[in-house]
Homo-oligomer: A and B are copies of this chain.
Amino acid sequence: MESGRRAAAGRNQMLLPPPPIQRFKYSKRVMLKSILDREDEGLAIVGQRVAVGGWVNSRKERAEADDASSPTRPAQADDEVLVQYVPFLRPISKDKHTIVYLLINDGSCITNLQLVMDSSMSVPGQVVTVGNSILVEGVLRGTWTGTKRVVELIVEKLLHVGAVDLKTYPLAKPQTSLPFLRDHLHLRPRFITIGSVARIRSSLTCACHAFFNDLGMIHVHMPIITSVATGSQSQRFQVTTLLDTSDQGHVDLEAFKAAVQEKRSRIKELRRGRNNKEALTAAKEDLEKSKELVRVLEERQKTATVYVGDVKLSEDFFGRAVYLSTSAGLHLESYACGLSGVYTIGPVFRADESQSGKKLAEMWMVEVELAFAELEDVMNCAEDLLRSLCYSLLATAGNDLKFAATNIDGDCIKRLQSITPRPFDRITYSNALRILNQVKDRSFLTQAVWGADLSEEHESYLADDYFENPVIVYEFPQEIKPFYARGNANGITVSAFEIIAPKVGVLARGSQKEERLDVIRKRIEEVGLPEEQFDWYMDLRKHGSVKRSGFSLEFEKMVMMATGITDAEDAIPFPRARGDAKL
């Protein structure tokens, strides 16, 4: 009996089916991730039939199928088959019978899947090549690339092919660069680096929520449009419905557009006639000219001077001047003074004052506010958040990080790994100055002096060279920190901090908030803010004030630190900067 049981158990183990492929529930295909991102890299599911889709990254051909398992098995009839292996549609010259190898990617993971198919298996008149979309069904097979065994798909049915215009397809060029792709924002998600950054960004978002969730903190959506001065006037974007510039061109564009429509109708008529080819050709040419004119006029209108005249703010949509939020911090405080532990992940907007350098005008920010918490508490929280994000990436985004380490920044994995185990050094602003002023082996463009912000080179020296890890600087001079940072007893410094990280500089900044009504009122006066706009903010001190502290973390910088991407415009899907708001 005993041995019989044991044998059965052994047999069971041996006969266990391979771990099933996780089907994607909402389309008739399997995500490549489900095949390639398994621990067995798909090898345990060899022999299974799957449908996969994606975009073709490369194509190779080989003259003859010398492989026993070449895709010669005819397709079975199937309702799902859109375009099938139908060699009888066109004569196949036996000489031209080749095997096509396509590398495809669907963005679900960084690894490509190789499709192997017969060249005859194609949409008539169309060669499946780089940039095509493709949806196929086939059987997974193991194969060798060098010394490594990988999985590939023997295609049996071509379900769909989406054409590509190779002449204008930006990703067809072999040397596609990130700066080049910024002119093709809509197509760059297919570029391997941008896809990889997107997945890392997504992982980071989810890791943020997981971190705060585990703590029992509450996610709140903070306003984007606000009448509160959350930043300096010159940094703010105004939001209005008063500037209706759409139909204020200096010519009657609508009339030209109507003419285009008329010409179109005329062409339709001519087409119905079917016997007036010359007139049709002439009409078509005429239409093109009119369309071109409309295009030129519209282009001119875009940059035209538009007379607006008197703007009555009382007639604006909100009946007053409103702006895009430059920080959720003040509003978040209102929620912390009720829900005690809150965070938000949202966009903030800065109309960068400097003309030089491309700073993002639209950024995403993680912002946190904790009631009953002091400076040290939020320094701990920010440090733990950062560490937790690094852990999470190392655990979940391994392949994307490996790609980044190979193709963008060789240090990126090392950097994340170095952050996880070590507590960050914490130094006062004064001590940071001391360190910077004792540097002998290099000279800074600007000297680090008390009362001035640390410059980028100072930050880089501290994080990249001196500590070789993120470092927390705290206790800043009052004059370089916002009015709400809590004043220390010395009357000179405030309870504020920054986390300066390698590669990106200031990654997070925060402070204990001034909870004393009389002190905050004095500060608002001192810095010359419109007091009546801050009545609500003082109310939070007047009614049940508590010690509270918060911080914000710049999401794009986190992405840049993790991947080694050096331009923020590549760390966000649709970058906005001065003079640049494509799409």
A residues contacting B by CB (< 8 A) are 22, 24-29, 31, 33-34, 53-56, 106-108, 131-133, 135, 160, 162-165, 168-169, 185-191, 194-195, 198-199, 201-202, 205-206, 209, 213, 215-216, 218-228, 233, 236-246, 257, 264, 291, 295, 298-299, 302-314, 317-322, 324, 331, 334-335, 337-341, 346-347, 349, 351, 361-362, 364, 370-374, 377-378, 380-381, 384, 515, 525, 528, 530-532, 536-537, 539-540, 542-547, 555, 572-574, 576, 578-583
With both beta carbons as reference points, the residue of chain B lying nearest to A254 in the complex is identified as: B528
Known: A133-B546, A168-B542, A303-B312. 6 other contacts (CB 8 A): A106-B372, A135-B546, A189-B337, A223-B574, A238-B239, A331-B583
> Which residues of chain B have C-beta atoms less than 8 A from A341's C-beta?
24, 26-27, 31, 107-108
Asked if B579 and A318 make an inter-chain contact with CB atoms under 8 angstroms apart, the answer reads: yes
Asked if B198 and A220 make an inter-chain contact with CB atoms under 8 angstroms apart, the answer reads: yes
Asked if B163 and A351 make an inter-chain contact with CB atoms under 8 angstroms apart, the answer reads: no
Asked if A295 and B583 make an inter-chain contact with CB atoms under 8 angstroms apart, the answer reads: no
Q: How far is the CB of A526 from chain B (nearest CB, A)?
A: 10
Asked if A338 and B168 make an inter-chain contact with CB atoms under 8 angstroms apart, the answer reads: no
> Which residues of chain B have C-beta atoms less than 8 A from A240's C-beta?
237-238, 240, 243
> Which residues of chain B have C-beta atoms less than 8 A from A580's C-beta?
318-319
Asked if B340 and A106 make an inter-chain contact with CB atoms under 8 angstroms apart, the answer reads: yes
Asked if B308 and A187 make an inter-chain contact with CB atoms under 8 angstroms apart, the answer reads: no
- A56–B187 Cα distance when bound, in Å, is 55
Asked if A310 and B306 make an inter-chain contact with CB atoms under 8 angstroms apart, the answer reads: yes
Residue of A132, A308, A313, A546 with most partner-chain B CB within 10 A:
A546
Asked if B331 and A573 make an inter-chain contact with CB atoms under 8 angstroms apart, the answer reads: yes
> Which residues of chain B have C-beta atoms less than 8 A from A108's C-beta?
216, 218, 339-341
Residue of A225, A298, A331, A340 with most partner-chain B CB within 10 A:
A340
This chain's copy number in the assembly? 2
Asked if B216 and A31 make an inter-chain contact with CB atoms under 8 angstroms apart, the answer reads: yes
Asked if B206 and A220 make an inter-chain contact with CB atoms under 8 angstroms apart, the answer reads: no
Asked if A339 and B195 make an inter-chain contact with CB atoms under 8 angstroms apart, the answer reads: yes
With both beta carbons as reference points, the residue of chain B lying nearest to A260 in the complex is identified as: B525
Asked if B308 and A308 make an inter-chain contact with CB atoms under 8 angstroms apart, the answer reads: yes
Asked if B237 and A239 make an inter-chain contact with CB atoms under 8 angstroms apart, the answer reads: yes
Residue of A24, A222, A572, A580 with most partner-chain B CB within 10 A:
A24
Ranked nearest first, the 6 interchain pairs of A and B with the lowest CB-CB distance are A189-B338, A107-B339, A133-B544, A190-B338, A223-B574, A303-B314
Asked if A581 and B226 make an inter-chain contact with CB atoms under 8 angstroms apart, the answer reads: yes
Q: List 5 A-B contacts (CB under 8 A).
A: A27-B374, A188-B338, A198-B218, A223-B574, A223-B576
Asked if B238 and A219 make an inter-chain contact with CB atoms under 8 angstroms apart, the answer reads: no
Asked if B581 and A318 make an inter-chain contact with CB atoms under 8 angstroms apart, the answer reads: yes
> Which residues of chain B have C-beta atoms less than 8 A from A347's C-beta?
221, 224, 346-347
Asked if B372 and A53 make an inter-chain contact with CB atoms under 8 angstroms apart, the answer reads: yes
- A198–B314 Cα distance when bound, in Å, is 32
Asked if B311 and A245 make an inter-chain contact with CB atoms under 8 angstroms apart, the answer reads: yes
Asked if A221 and B187 make an inter-chain contact with CB atoms under 8 angstroms apart, the answer reads: no
When the two chains form the complex, which single residue of B53, B215, B218 contacts A24, counting CB atoms closer than 8 Å?
B215
Asked if A320 and B308 make an inter-chain contact with CB atoms under 8 angstroms apart, the answer reads: no
When the two chains form the complex, which single residue of B199, B236, B295 contacts A532, counting CB atoms closer than 8 Å?
B295
A206-B213, A544-B55 are known contacts. Are A26 and B373 too (CB-CB below 8 A)? yes
- A12–B186 Cα distance when bound, in Å, is 63
With both beta carbons as reference points, the residue of chain B lying nearest to A223 in the complex is identified as: B574
> Which residues of chain B have C-beta atoms less than 8 A from A164's C-beta?
542-544
- A298–B164 Cα distance when bound, in Å, is 59
> Which residues of chain B have C-beta atoms less than 8 A from A537's C-beta?
186
- A206–B220 Cα distance when bound, in Å, is 11
> Which residues of chain B have C-beta atoms less than 8 A from A246's C-beta?
233, 321
Asked if A237 and B227 make an inter-chain contact with CB atoms under 8 angstroms apart, the answer reads: no
When the two chains form the complex, which single residue of B257, B340, B543 contacts A131, counting CB atoms closer than 8 Å?
B543
Q: How far is the CB of A133 from chain B (nearest CB, A)?
A: 4
Q: How far is the CB of A48 from chain B (nearest CB, A)?
A: 18
Asked if B576 and A318 make an inter-chain contact with CB atoms under 8 angstroms apart, the answer reads: yes
> Which residues of chain B have C-beta atoms less than 8 A from A372's C-beta?
27-29, 53, 106, 135
With both beta carbons as reference points, the residue of chain B lying nearest to A538 in the complex is identified as: B186
Q: How far is the CB of A257 from chain B (nearest CB, A)?
A: 7
Q: How far is the CB of A348 from chain B (nearest CB, A)?
A: 10
> Which residues of chain B have C-beta atoms less than 8 A from A384's C-beta?
25
Asked if B317 and A361 make an inter-chain contact with CB atoms under 8 angstroms apart, the answer reads: yes
Asked if A581 and B225 make an inter-chain contact with CB atoms under 8 angstroms apart, the answer reads: yes
Asked if B25 and A380 make an inter-chain contact with CB atoms under 8 angstroms apart, the answer reads: yes
Asked if B308 and A311 make an inter-chain contact with CB atoms under 8 angstroms apart, the answer reads: yes
A202-B219, A331-B583 are known contacts. Are A305 and B310 too (CB-CB below 8 A)? yes
When the two chains form the complex, which single residue of B28, B194, B236, B313 contacts A302, counting CB atoms closer than 8 Å?
B313
- A24–B342 Cα distance when bound, in Å, is 13
- A302–B216 Cα distance when bound, in Å, is 41
Asked if A334 and B189 make an inter-chain contact with CB atoms under 8 angstroms apart, the answer reads: yes
> Which residues of chain B have C-beta atoms less than 8 A from A298's C-beta?
530, 532
